[in-house]
Amino acid sequence: MSGSEVQHCVTTPVRRALEAGAVGQQARIQGWVRTKRSSKAVGTFLELNDGSSLRNLQVVVPQSLANYETVVNSLSTGASVSVEGDIVESPAPGQETELRALRLDVVGHAGEYPLAKKRHSFEYLRSMAHLRPRTNTFGAIARVRNEVCRSIHAYFQQRDYLYIQTPIITGIDAEGAGQMFQVTSLDLTNPPLRDAAVDFSLDLFGRPTHLAVSGQLEAEIMASALSHVYTFGPTFRAENSNTSRHLAEFWMVEPEVAFCDLALLMDIAEDFLKVVFSDVLANCMEDMRFFNDRIDNTVLETLEHVVTSDFVRLTYTEAIEILRVSGRDFEFPVEWGHDLQAEHERYLTEEHFKLPVILVDYPASIKAFYMRLNDDDRTVAAMDVLVPKIGEIIGGSQREERLDVLLTRMHAHGLDPEEYWWYLDLRRFGSVPHSGFGLGLERVVHFMTGMQNIRDVIPFPRTPRSADF
């Protein structure tokens, strides 16, 4: 049998069975019982969900079924079942179809299901990560997240970018910020020593290595030959920040474009975000309405506003001026040369402009070594895209393509150029102006769904003191 003939599913997804056009079809549905309700006159009603849709399919189990008593008595919330029957028009309000069961098999019993009926807090559900995706909220998150990923790939593929893979284990600190997890094959309880220090020459790679904080520098290598590339993979940051916007492991998409300056990069970033948001609105409306009804009743309005408006563009220096005259009593000082804090970013996007803001030209001293120095010698061609509630959703820049300037910048950041010899070589052999950015996948899903905490938009969050499952 060739691959194209393989039937992946001998069942009908609930999503399809719910469509009016399915009436009259025979179907086999497999899923998990959400609720069970019995009626003397008809039999038993089951609400079945298989993750393909926010809505459940109502299954009517008639008393005439041969194994009715045994099967129905043993069923409870959480049990898995396989049902065959006819899809018919449903007399019940709010659903066009239902399934009349002709055969019902219990695949797995559920016993005392820990998530029965009552609403649970998101914190509690994090401790039940093996059952969490069975809830409405986390099913909807998974579907939206999937659509965001599909849309990201489609966006770049349709525009001739090559999807490239950059290493997860690396010897370099791409951001020069030192927030890295070390990777080693040495025995940490008894490491080999030389001159009273750990002897990393005996480590598997013969040197210290870390989990990548970004794939950017390698993406620059690839863009310096293949022009338009993007990475999309997990990145790791050992920053001990317990905020609602930070994860220690998150997914980042990083396009890198040769022959591209900051102005073009801003256009790309804005267009890209709008396409991704629009795709989710077009293809996940049922789930998005759920978030709007249950989680945050501003998300739909905000997203529709964002996709039809021009993002505001201004310099860091202009932003500092706006914040300074705002009359606001910010917790952190507003001073040229200091990084903007979440409260500042939120003021700009939520109150002052009520729109996403692309901030450029940050002070060189607070940004990474690879960003291109501007003619004023004190700012760099950096770009952060800020959105309401979340703050920074994209961070990017034009890269320093001039060898001498890059060397000076590295020294200023206390980095050893010898460690980055290959990065410097890119500036020796056909150097080109080039630019790129990083978009945090979880920041997108966080923004779009209105969820309170970024930990709840990834199936298995990794945060300080938490790496279960």
The DSSP secondary structure of 216-237, one letter per residue, reads HHHHHHHHHHHSEEEEEEEEE-
User: Is 394 a residue that touches ligand 4AD (CB under 6 A)?
Assistant: yes
Residue type, 451: M
Measured between alpha carbons, how far is 8 from 284 in angstroms, rounded to an integer?
23
Partner interacting with residue 437 (select from ligand 4AD, Mg ion, none; CB below 5-8 Å by kind): ligand 4AD
Residues 6+ apart with CB under 8 A from 467: none
Partner interacting with residue 175 (select from ligand 4AD, Mg ion, none; CB below 5-8 Å by kind): ligand 4AD
Candidate ranges 38-46, 81-89, 175-183, 388-396; the one touching Mg ion (CB under 5 A) = 388-396
Binding mask 229-248 for ligand 4AD (x = CB under 6 A): --------x--------xx-
User: Is 440 a residue that touches Mg ion (CB under 5 A)?
Assistant: no
- Residue in the shown chain whose Cβ atom is closest to ligand 4AD: 395
Candidate ranges 73-81, 250-258, 309-317, 330-338; the one touching ligand 4AD (CB under 6 A) = 250-258
Partner interacting with residue 125 (select from ligand 4AD, Mg ion, none; CB below 5-8 Å by kind): none
Structure token pair of residue 444: 């997108």
User: Is 450 a residue that touches Mg ion (CB under 5 A)?
Assistant: no
User: Is 440 a residue that touches ligand 4AD (CB under 6 A)?
Assistant: yes
Distances (CA, A) of 276 to 22, 113, 307: 30, 37, 9
Residue 367: exposure state from Cβ atoms within 10 A (0-12, 13-18, ≥19) = buried
Strand order in the sheet with 228-236: 162-163, 228-236, 249-258, 434-440, 391-398, 379-387, 357-363, 312-315
Measured between alpha carbons, how far is 28 from 81 in angstroms, rounded to an integer?
10
* Shorter beta-carbon distance to ligand 4AD: residue 85 or 388: 388
User: Is 321 a residue that touches ligand 4AD (CB under 6 A)?
Assistant: no
Measured between alpha carbons, how far is 168 from 159 in angstroms, rounded to an integer?
26
Closest CA relative to residue 305, chosen from 264, 350, 345: 350
* Count of residues of this chain found to bind ligand 4AD when the rule CB under 6 A is applied: 23
* Shorter beta-carbon distance to ligand 4AD: residue 31 or 461: 461
| Cβ at position 308, least distance to ligand 4AD in Å | 23
Partner interacting with residue 389 (select from Mg ion, ligand 4AD, none; CB below 5-8 Å by kind): none
* Shorter beta-carbon distance to Mg ion: residue 255 or 395: 395
Partner interacting with residue 214 (select from ligand 4AD, Mg ion, none; CB below 5-8 Å by kind): ligand 4AD
User: Is 395 a residue that touches Mg ion (CB under 5 A)?
Assistant: yes
388, 438, 450, 461: residue in contact with ligand 4AD (rule CB under 6 A): 438
Cβ–Cβ contacts within 10 Å for residue 399, how many? 28
* Shorter beta-carbon distance to ligand 4AD: residue 27 or 386: 386
Three-state secondary-structure class, residue 168? coil
| Cβ at position 344, least distance to ligand 4AD in Å | 15
Q: Using CB under 6 A, which residues numbered 144 to 203 contact ligand 4AD?
A: 174-175
Measured between alpha carbons, how far is 75 from 143 in angstroms, rounded to an integer?
27
Residue type, 135: T
Measured between alpha carbons, how far is 307 from 154 in angstroms, rounded to an integer?
18
CA end-to-end span of the chain: 37
CB-based contact 319:340 (threshold 8 Å): yes
* Residues lying near Mg ion in the complex (CB under 5 A): 395
Which spans of this chain sit near ligand 4AD (rule: CB under 6 A)? 174-175, 214, 216, 237, 246-247, 250, 252, 254, 392-397, 436-440, 442-443
